[in-house]
Amino acid sequence: MRQMTNWLSGLTQTRAAADPHVLITILAVKGSAPRYGGSKMVVTSNEVFDTIGGGQLEVLAIERSRKILEGILPAVQQIEHYPLAATAMQCCGGSVTLLFEPLLCDMPEVVIFGAGHVGQAISHLLENLPVRTKLIDSRQNWLDKSGAQQKVLLSEALLDGPGLASLVPRNSWVFVLTHDHAIDFTLMRYLTRRSDLAFLGMIGSKTKWKSFSARLKRDGATINELARVCCPIGDGDIQFKEPSAIAIDVVARLLRDITRKSCLSEDGPSEVIPSSSASPEHRQSECANEEIVEISNRHLKNEVPGLFL
């Protein structure tokens, strides 16, 4: 959907919603082009804010941004050069160099079932951290008290497999903390089958988990599936039972787990990838006769003061 909102307002809106997006900046213009250097737009999975000039150039820029957001292209800063006649089929005759900056694309997803005292305390601790938080509860009045980025009212329809699948992204950290043991069990019966979760924890005592695991096993859960569950939730035995203390314990473990996972999967620091050095599967050639025009550092410096210090 096209939003003619100013790109800065769009950027503020998408960041507040923790919605992954790509900030596109015109780094350089050579010859005639629809807009000048420094013009920007913001692209999300289903929205576009502002414009870099319209036409086929903008279509190609949006397509590339969506490929970044979908994981088809790497979520790192990258530069792409567009000769407008050859690549974008525009008669301006000039060329444009774009910078694509993926933002919020690698933020961990935290899904909290239960907006009670502990759920509220956890979501409050996560408000200013670089994670996307989704709070789910069947009680609207409890959801209204929360400052979570996403709030979902849990209905009967959402308690089936397909409904829950839409609420819980793969690789997310999932906490089950509802006010109702029957809802907890329904959630765990589905979630224990998910081998694609980064973490699955449930609030409760060792006695509660012993009862739940026996029932889940009778329903067909395997030993490996049950072993993935952390219950009691948190990083260890603590003597404090206050919701804020439990929340601190849970978030402390969450941050350590995210850090360990990030260290294991990290391939190195993000870098700006010029299109000429991208791998064949990432190089999106839009025209067989595309003319590759080198843009010098001097030209970029003239077009975008401050780019090179």
Residue pLDDT tens, the chain, 309 long: 665 678 999 988 888 777 889 999 998 888 777 778 899 999 998 999 999 887 888 899 999 999 999 888 888 899 998 887 655 455 556 788 999 999 987 788 899 999 999 999 999 999 888 888 999 999 999 999 888 888 999 988 888 778 888 889 888 999 999 999 999 999 999 999 999 999 999 998 889 999 999 999 999 999 999 999 999 887 666 778 899 999 999 999 899 988 887 776 655 444 444 544 444 444 343 333 334 444 556 655 565 555 554
User: Domain holding 233: CATH number?
Assistant: 3.40.50.720
Residue 118: inside a domain, yes or no? Answer: yes
Residue 182: inside a domain, yes or no? Answer: yes
- Domain of 119 in residue numbering reads as 109-265
Residue 59: inside a domain, yes or no? Answer: yes
Give yes or no: residues 191 and 56 share one domain. no
Buried b or exposed e, range 147-180, using 16+ CB within 10 angstroms:
ebbbbbebeeebeeeeebeebbeeebbbbbbbee
Give yes or no: residues 139 and 225 share one domain. yes
Residue 136, both tokens = 């789910």
Instruction: Give the angle subtended at the CA of 157 by the CAs of 203 and 221, to the nearest 5°.
Output: 50
Give yes or no: residues 169 and 229 share one domain. yes
Q: Total structural domains in the chain?
A: 2
Residue 246: inside a domain, yes or no? Answer: yes
Q: Are 56 and 90 in contact (CB under 8 A)?
A: yes
Give yes or no: residues 287 and 255 share one domain. no
Give yes or no: residues 162 and 209 share one domain. yes
Give yes or no: residues 81 and 129 share one domain. no
Residue 240: inside a domain, yes or no? Answer: yes
Give yes or no: residues 32 and 48 share one domain. yes
Give yes or no: residues 133 and 192 share one domain. yes
Give yes or no: residues 181 and 91 share one domain. no
Residue 272: inside a domain, yes or no? Answer: no
Residue 271: inside a domain, yes or no? Answer: no
